[in-house]
Amino acid sequence: MIEAVGLTKRYGDKTAVYNLSFQVRPGAVTGFLGPNGSGKSTTMRMILGLDNPTAGHVTIGGHPYRKLPNAARQVGALLDAKAVHGGRAARNHLLSLAQLSGIPARRVDEVLGVVGLQDVARRRSKGFSLGMGQRLGIAAALLGDPQVLLFDEPVNGLDPEGIHWVRNLMKALAAEGRTVFVSSHLMSEMALTADHLIVIGRGQLLADMSVTEFISANSADFARVRTPDSEPQLREKLTSALTEAGGHVLPEQDGALRVTGLPLPRISDIAHGADVRLWELSPHQASLEEAYMRMTQGAVDYRSTADQKAGLQQPLPPGAQPPMPVPGQGQPGWYAPPPPQQGGQPFAAPQGAPGQAPAGPYGAPAAPGTVPGGQPANPYAAQQAPQHLPQAPAAAPQTPQPPAAAAPPATAPAPASAPVTDPTKPEDAR
Amino acid sequence: MAATQVLRSEWTKIRSVASTVWTLGLAVVVTIALGMLISALTKSQFSDMSRRDQLSFDPTFISFAGTSLGQLAMIVFGVLVVGNEYSSGMIRTSLAAVPRRGTFLFGKVAVATALALVVGMVTSFATFFLGQAMLGDLRASIGDPGVLRAVFGGGLYMTLIAMFSMGVAAMLRSPMLSLGILMPFFFLISNILGNVPATRKVGRFLPDQAGSRIMQVVTPVDDNVPYGPWGGLGIMALWVIAALVGGYAVLRHRDA
């Protein structure tokens, strides 16, 4: 059991952590989430007695860390995978740590086997990849067979097999009744690993609840409704009918409607009553990632901006097409451009194929806060603008409320058919 | 209990990195080789030396001529032992395992000091005997008055200079910064301060100049140094204590 009360840490005039109070209970994996620079690592260091809080206190099992009897046997921690002397062999690194806490040497070979590093045990850790470093760090945390475990970004640099292994390891440790506290900025990872979430932003507590509570509290379910593209008046009709019935309707860029506040059968009934045919009526739930992004939107310290490439772009030869980004290539912050003109849609399949790309758990249809001020967050989209300049305004009459993207950013949708990568995601998450 | 654990752990750390062997090995080789070289050169030029220099000729001190360079390798050893914890980030893992920071620091210093003492003593005696062999009929014998003290003191000097570097590295928390200050200081600045007449009186109290007094057997002519060989070593020991206390204060109060 880790308990923080009013934890505050200031470095000069910068407040890294402010008035943080939470409890981490045994028997569960508790995820510790926040954007880069939100104070996760500082909090971890304060828990371990490495940094002194400016105010407040944090205890493990009722004792401050520096007063814990034989701390290393009760608490294991992975803080930084790179924090090893590169010239020292993996086994010697662990052996020195084991001797520090009076742990027998054979335990070193045990944990080396547990993390799968037995074959490189006598190699210098200088040559280790980040993933191997993470495994070595996890081995160090497991050395004392502790009841309380802290992991700071344990899956960074691990391959899929390693991520899967860490996930299962955390769950297994928690199932044994241990207290497991894992920090991450990857919401998707926490969704699969954690039972409980503590979210901070700019050093302050944003949420402390179970994963399921977190999703339902932070995201609204919605329905996507699509009327025949050929008859725009049907959409107008349905919009007013739904609004009348108490629903909240928001047009999406590709002409679909996003409806909240009404259950699906009711939407169907209303459409039937208004004599409107539907091409699509699908339920959607915001993912954990979305809920997290919405929550931390205001608390992101480092946000990327569009790469203007001023002065670097070569003039295109006459008649040449500007390069089109291929969807799914994973360009930073890639978004599909707005439909160039009525009827002609760049990618995606609305004509005769109303089925949207399924909103999988993390292939989130919308990413909030991505298009501030309607400015395309994407250098490639910006590049295309000249090509579509005459048509771009023409896209406006297509939707009743023109630049929908500029509307509340929290709900500004990107065409769901395009794979969504998110610019607010920290760079090392990709 | 915790102290013996720290000692065992620090011994594992110190023997498992190559830099220990390199720095200590270099200290031994440089000190001995340079001492032998200078001894041989002095022997061949003894007849050309002034009467005054011949009178105050100190065969023991001449054989320790390599210490001025060999001590630099000792400084690197001391700095790396402590500083590597900071540069690698290992300090956090170590302090998470040993929350009592004083135990940790002094355990580390104790192990490194013991190793430096062994190496320093071996170097000192080897330097003396090999240097005297080069000096031929000018040589001093270990049984002569003051000689054993000087040879023993040479080993202590090497140990203390390593300890001083450990304290400085603990205060500065960075091997690069520590070496950047200590190397030029002991290689250049201390010599300059000690040879410029205006600053000579101050320079005498610097750790290396005060400490190296222990290796002299014959006092130079017109010598007016206000302390004796053990007094000089005492001044050096005070510097070492100050550096270690400073390092402990920093470790105790700063965030790791």
DSSP state of B103: H
Which residue did the predictor score with more confidence, A55 or A384? A55
- The answer to whether B77 and A53 have CB atoms below 8 angstroms apart is no
Which chain A positions have a beta carbon within 8 Å of B5's beta carbon? 99-102
Burial classification of residue A19, based on how many CB atoms lie within 10 Å of its CB (0-12 exposed, 13-18 middle, 19 or more buried): middle
Contact A79 B92 (CB under 8 A): yes
Rounded distance, CA B196 to CA A353, Å?
92
CB contacts < 8 A (A, B): 92
Residue A156 — pLDDT band, cuts 50, 70, 90? confident
Tokens coding B96: 């998470």
**Cβ contacts of residue B4 below 8 Å, gap of 6+?**
none
Question: Residue A300 in 3-state DSSP?
Answer: coil
Which residue did the predictor score with more confidence, A380 or B168? B168
Contact A84 B88 (CB under 8 A): yes
**Cβ contacts of residue A166 below 8 Å, gap of 6+?**
A134, A138, A154, A155, A158, A193
A72 touches chain B (CB under 8 A): yes
Which residue did the predictor score with more confidence, B83 or A304? B83
Which chain B positions have a beta carbon within 8 Å of A98's beta carbon? 9
Which residue did the predictor score with more confidence, A394 or B197? B197
Interface test with A, best of B93, B103, B252 (most A CBs within 10 A): B93
Kindly report which listed range (A167-176, A335-344, A382-391, B50-59) carries the lowest average pLDDT score.
A335-344
> How far from A145 is each of A44, A142, A149, CA to CA, in Å?
19, 5, 9
> How far from B179 is each of A85, A86, B72, B76, B159, CA to CA, in Å?
18, 19, 10, 7, 17
**For A90, nearest residue in chain B (alpha carbons):** B16
pLDDT at A287: 67
ipTM of the complex: 0.89
Pick from A423, A415, A349: which is nearest to A379 by CA? A423
A52 touches chain B (CB under 8 A): yes
- What does the pLDDT look like over A397-421, one tens digit per residue? 444 444 444 444 444 444 444 444 4
Contact B16 A99 (CB under 8 A): no
Tokens coding B240: 């070492």
Section B242-247 average pLDDT: 97
Section A151-173 average pLDDT: 92
A391 touches chain B (CB under 8 A): no
Which chain B positions have a beta carbon within 8 Å of A51's beta carbon? 255-256
Q: Which of residues 17 through 36 in chain B touch A, CB cutoff 8 A?
A: 17-19
CA distance B255 to chain A (A): 4
Contact B5 A99 (CB under 8 A): yes
Contact B96 A102 (CB under 8 A): no
pLDDT at A171: 95
Residue B238 — pLDDT band, cuts 50, 70, 90? very high
Share of chain A above pLDDT 70, in %: 71
- H-helix segments, B136-216: 147-172, 175-184, 190-195, 200-203, 207-212
pLDDT at A412: 41
Residue A230, Cβ neighbours under 10 Å: how many? 8
Which chain A positions have a beta carbon within 8 Å of B19's beta carbon? 87
Torsion angle, alpha carbons of A131, A137, A138, A140, to 10 = 150
- H-helix segments, A194-347: 211-218, 232-244, 264-273, 288-296
Which chain A positions have a beta carbon within 8 Å of B6's beta carbon? 100
Boundaries of every domain in chain B: 1-255
Section A79-85 average pLDDT: 88
pLDDT at B135: 92
**Structure-token match 């996003």, residue found:** A258
Give, in degrees to the nearest 5, the angle at Cα B143 between B141 and B146.
Answer: 95
B165 touches chain A (CB under 8 A): no
Interface test with B, best of A74, A82, A85, A107 (most B CBs within 10 A): A85
Contact A100 B5 (CB under 8 A): yes
Residue B225 — pLDDT band, cuts 50, 70, 90? confident
Residue A208 — pLDDT band, cuts 50, 70, 90? very high
Tokens coding A232: 């725009």
What type of residue sits at position B121?
M
pLDDT at B67: 93
Kindly tell me the sign of the dihedral angle through the C-alpha atoms of A81, A82, A85, A89. Answer: positive
How far does CA A385 lie from the centroid of its chain?
A: 29
Q: Which of residues 104 through 163 in chain B touch A, CB cutoff 8 A?
A: none
- H-helix segments, A115-207: 130-142, 160-175, 187-193
What type of residue sits at position A92?
N
> How far from B104 is each of A83, A90, A224, A335, A398, CA to CA, in Å?
17, 21, 62, 54, 71
Rounded distance, CA A334 to CA A328, Å?
8
B200 touches chain A (CB under 8 A): no
pTM of the model: 0.75
Which residue did the predictor score with more confidence, B23 or A12? B23
Exposure letters B24-61 (e unless 16+ CB within 10 A, then b): bebbbebbbebbbebbeebbeeeeeeeeeeeeebbbbb
Strand-strand pairing, A257-260 and A248-251: antiparallel
- What does the pLDDT look like over B165-175, one tens digit per residue? 999 999 999 99
Nearest CB among A66, A68, A99 relative to B12 is that of A99
Residue A27, Cβ neighbours under 10 Å: how many? 12
Section B223-234 average pLDDT: 89
- H-helix segments, A180-286: 187-193, 211-218, 232-244, 264-273
- What does the pLDDT look like over B145-162, one tens digit per residue? 899 999 999 999 999 999
**For B7, nearest residue in chain A (alpha carbons):** A100
Q: Which of residues 142 through 161 in chain A touch B, CB cutoff 8 A?
A: none
Which chain B positions have a beta carbon within 8 Å of A85's beta carbon? 13, 17, 84, 88, 90
CA distance B234 to chain A (A): 33
Section A203-228 average pLDDT: 82
Rounded distance, CA A286 to CA B145, Å?
89
Which residue did the predictor score with more confidence, A229 or A128? A128
Question: Residue B87 in 3-state DSSP?
Answer: helix
Exposure letters A119-148 (e unless 16+ CB within 10 A, then b): ebbeebbeebeebbbbbbbbbbbbbbebbb
DSSP state of B185: I
pLDDT at A297: 75
Residue A375 — pLDDT band, cuts 50, 70, 90? very low
Pick from B247, B234, B79, B62: which is nearest to B157 by CA? B234
pLDDT at A197: 92
What type of residue sits at position B196?
V
CA distance B181 to chain A (A): 23
pLDDT at B1: 58
Section B203-218 average pLDDT: 91
Tell me the average pLDDT of chain B.
92
Give, in degrees to the nearest 5, the angle at Cα A366 between A365 and A370.
Answer: 145
Is pLDDT above 50 for A53?
yes
Which chain A positions have a beta carbon within 8 Å of B8's beta carbon? 99
Q: Name the phi and psi angles at A76, rounded to 5.
A: -120, 140
Nearest CB among B5, B92, B93 relative to A102 is that of B5
Pick from A105, A56, A60: which is nearest to B96 by CA? A60
DSSP state of A378: -
A73 touches chain B (CB under 8 A): no
DSSP state of A344: B
Strand-strand pairing, A257-260 and A222-226: antiparallel
Which chain A positions have a beta carbon within 8 Å of B93's beta carbon? 77, 79, 83-84, 97, 140
Torsion angle, alpha carbons of A329, A334, A335, A336, to 10 = -40
Residue A339 — pLDDT band, cuts 50, 70, 90? very low
**For B90, nearest residue in chain A (alpha carbons):** A83
- What does the pLDDT look like over B114-140, one tens digit per residue? 999 999 999 999 999 999 999 988 888
Kindly report which listed range (A242-246, A331-335, A397-401) carries the lowest average pLDDT score.
A331-335
Section A56-61 average pLDDT: 94
Kindly report which listed range (A4-18, A181-195, A207-221, B22-36) carries the lowest average pLDDT score.
A207-221
